[in-house]
Chain A
Amino acid sequence: MSKKSKTKNQKSKLGEEEVRHVAELAGLALSPSEVRKFQKQLSEVLDYIEVLNEIDTEGLEPTSQVAGLENVFREDKVGSSLSFEEVLSGTKNKDRGMFKIKAIFDK
């Protein structure tokens, strides 16, 4: 467990500004105290994963899946699906068989 050896020369990977930026990209609202807490915790995790730089990965094939399957098809047949009522059952914001959301464009 190489946690100790890493914290010795710990440098902050992520500044608070970057934490706020990443949170915004991810659609998360953070309080100032969360920004401080996550800045420290996320930097620690990013320091830990630096260990991967020990390996030269030039020319190595990436593994994005381990099922080993490619081009899985099914017959193009129409089957049963959920009713409007079922699909809309999880929300209060609905109108005439559609989800009602906040306006994106001005009138």
Chain B
Amino acid sequence: MELYELTINEAQEGLKERKFSSLELVKSCLSRIKKLDSKINAFITVCEKKALKQAEEADKQFGSLDRGLNNRPLLGIPIAIKDIFSTKEIKTTAGSKVLANYLPVYDATVVRRLKEAGAIILGKTNMDAWAHGSSGENSDFFPTKNPWNPGSVPGGSSSGSAAAVSSGMALAATGSDTGGSIRLPASFCNLVGLKPTYGRVSRYGVIAMASSLDVMGHLTKDVTDSAIILNVIAGRDLYDSTTSEKPVPNYLTNLKKGVKGLKIGIPKEYFIEGMHPEVKERVLVAIKILEKLGAKTLAVSLPHTKYALAVYYIVQPSEVSSNLARYDGIRFGFPREEFGAEAKRRIMIGTYTLSAGYYEAYYLKAMQIRTLVKKDFEKVFNKVDILLTPVSPTPPFKLGERKNDPLAMYLSDIFTVTASLAGIPGLAVPAGFVEDMPVGVQILGPQFSEDLLLRVGYTYEQETLWYKRRPNL
């Protein structure tokens, strides 16, 4: 087994026991990047020198620390960062030519916490510009390929993060999720993707897309790694006043407690006409497996689900148009002429829905219906502990297939935007293959139920072991 194939959990053990050094681990990932990334295009920036230097420093610390690693759980672990997170003195583009030369002067809180925990940044990953997209094709630089099939999209907007982890170029990667941008690419690349509760993880220093929806999370090879990273990044941040003061539990503690007696709801609105029958089949199989493991499942209804995508496509572009107004090319970056087509579309939709005479008809109405979507979840979580749904109606689609049809692209997010509107957490877990391409299932729970989602995800993945499959590269 090559070092780049390890999970974080496995690498931690190996590093502690001195089976290999951080330098060897980092070199293994860097050689993987050199070998594959000219084809996959996962990275916008690779920080080879810095990463090697940090690895040497980490190895020295392993030499001097005596089991004092509890404060630095990620010491010597190479990860990738989505290019929407500000990284001090490392170019941060958000996938857009507007920021093609932008060097932040500070780190995002998530990045700072990962660095303090000892993680090594290998580089910055490609993405749909400003996180606008479901395929990665809206990157202003180049599209990322799906490591499982270079003719397919890896999912977006965290396209490079998904492709990098899936192909062994990094042990894990950060992502941001506004309407599905972590869960969809995780599902399309056979990875575990966590969108935490709104306010569980700081947004500080992450280039804002839609501020009432943006949530920071990560893509990992398995559920244990997802818990390890959440332990590091979750919690109150004085620089983001929407972060919660709720205490952060150790997300590893309850992972192995199983699903016996849990009530799992299956919302009928998530099995719509037009969805791929085999994707539906994968979810039905997952339900059977969880029942076999001792969970009770029951059919439930979230009646306003069919309105969620329309609500999302008012609220989100409205907030986008406001957030992207600050890019004027004066203080940093390039002028607004550099915006790509999708950013222009969303800025214009948002400007329109917020403009005089249309505000009540669109933005206010959408916020009112957002209340109904949120209440649907609150009601259903009085009856069940979690919900199980598909991540997307289809398996990974072909590059180019939806690129010039914005509405078709938007429909990829139909099952993920609901959780974003309600601010609840969602976990995507590998659930098998359709037409030789990976698909995932989505586990949803009430706000701040990450602990439970990870427990269900862990139980399911250990029974099915789909997550162990890697693309043949």
Please list the residues of chain A having a beta carbon within 8 angstroms of any beta carbon in chain B.
Answer: 1-3, 14, 18-19, 22-23, 25-30, 34, 37-38, 41-42, 44-46, 48-52, 54-55, 57, 60-67, 69, 72, 74, 82, 86-87, 89-91, 93, 99, 101
A45 near B339 with CB under 8 A, answer no
1/0 contact trace for B346-362 toward A, CB 8 Å?
01110110010000001
B365 near A57 with CB under 8 A, answer yes
Q: Give the contacting residue for B407; candidates A25, A27, A44, A66; CB below 8 A.
A: A44
Residues A28 and B367 in contact in the complex (CB < 8 Å), given A1-B411, A49-B314, A66-B198: no
Q: Which residues of A contact B304 (CB under 8 A)?
A: 55
Residues A55 and B272 in contact in the complex (CB < 8 Å), given A26-B351, A49-B314, A67-B198: no
A41 near B406 with CB under 8 A, answer yes
B274 near A90 with CB under 8 A, answer no
Say yes or no: is B368 at the interface (Cβ < 8 Å to chain A): yes
CA of A72 to CA of B309, assembled, Å? 30
B310 near A52 with CB under 8 A, answer yes
Q: Which residues of B contact A62 (CB under 8 A)?
A: 364, 367-368, 370-371
- Give the total of B residues in contact with A, Cβ under 8 Å: 64
Shortest Cβ distance from A75 into B: residue? B238
A45 near B244 with CB under 8 A, answer no
Say yes or no: is B141 at the interface (Cβ < 8 Å to chain A): no
Q: Which residues of A contact B14 (CB under 8 A)?
A: none
Most chain-B CB neighbours within 10 Å: which of A30, A45, A55, A62?
A: A45
Shortest Cβ distance from B275 into A: residue? A1
Shortest CB-to-CB span from B106 to chain A, Å, is: 7
B332 near A90 with CB under 8 A, answer yes
A26 near B348 with CB under 8 A, answer yes
Most chain-B CB neighbours within 10 Å: which of A1, A25, A54, A99?
A: A1
Say yes or no: is B331 at the interface (Cβ < 8 Å to chain A): yes
Residues A48 and B367 in contact in the complex (CB < 8 Å), given A1-B393, A90-B333: no
Say yes or no: is B112 at the interface (Cβ < 8 Å to chain A): no
What are some 29 contacts across the A-B interface (CB < 8 A)? A1-B272, A1-B274, A1-B414, A3-B407, A22-B348, A26-B351, A27-B336, A37-B341, A41-B406, A41-B407, A42-B348, A45-B410, A46-B352, A48-B313, A48-B407, A49-B362, A52-B311, A52-B365, A52-B369, A55-B307, A60-B368, A60-B372, A62-B364, A63-B374, A64-B212, A65-B242, A66-B374, A90-B102, A91-B332
Residues A63 and B370 in contact in the complex (CB < 8 Å), given A26-B347, A90-B332: yes
Shortest CB-to-CB span from B279 to chain A, Å, is: 13
B362 near A65 with CB under 8 A, answer no
Q: Which residues of A contact B410 (CB under 8 A)?
A: 45, 48
Q: Which residues of B contact A72 (CB under 8 A)?
A: 241-242
Shortest CB-to-CB span from A63 to chain B, Å, is: 4
Beyond known contacts A50-B310, A63-B368: 12 more, CB 8 A cutoff: A1-B274, A1-B393, A23-B348, A38-B345, A44-B407, A48-B310, A51-B310, A52-B366, A57-B369, A62-B371, A69-B199, A74-B241
Residues A45 and B238 in contact in the complex (CB < 8 Å), given A52-B311, A55-B372, A66-B212: no
1/0 contact trace for B418-434 toward A, CB 8 Å?
00011100000000000
Most chain-A CB neighbours within 10 Å: which of B244, B407, B421, B422?
A: B407
Q: Which residues of A contact B372 (CB under 8 A)?
A: 55, 60
Say yes or no: is B293 at the interface (Cβ < 8 Å to chain A): no
Residues A69 and B406 in contact in the complex (CB < 8 Å), given A29-B337, A38-B345: no
Say yes or no: is B325 at the interface (Cβ < 8 Å to chain A): yes
Shortest Cβ distance from B239 into A: residue? A74
A69 near B313 with CB under 8 A, answer no
Q: Which residues of A contact B349 (CB under 8 A)?
A: 42, 45-46
A28 near B365 with CB under 8 A, answer no
Shortest Cβ distance from A53 into B: residue? B365
CA of A74 to CA of B447, assembled, Å? 24
Shortest CB-to-CB span from A59 to chain B, Å, is: 9
Say yes or no: is B262 at the interface (Cβ < 8 Å to chain A): no
Shortest CB-to-CB span from B186 to chain A, Å, is: 22
Say yes or no: is B1 at the interface (Cβ < 8 Å to chain A): no
| CB-CB nearest 5 A-B residue pairs | A90-B332, A66-B423, A62-B367, A72-B241, A60-B368
Q: Which residues of B contact A93 (CB under 8 A)?
A: 330
CA of A60 to CA of B366, assembled, Å? 11
A26 near B321 with CB under 8 A, answer yes
B368 near A34 with CB under 8 A, answer no
Shortest CB-to-CB span from B272 to chain A, Å, is: 6
Shortest Cβ distance from B310 into A: residue? A49
Shortest Cβ distance from B393 into A: residue? A1
Shortest Cβ distance from B242 into A: residue? A67
Q: Give the contacting residue for B331; candidates A23, A46, A91; CB below 8 A.
A: A91
B367 near A42 with CB under 8 A, answer no
B369 near A3 with CB under 8 A, answer no
B330 near A34 with CB under 8 A, answer no
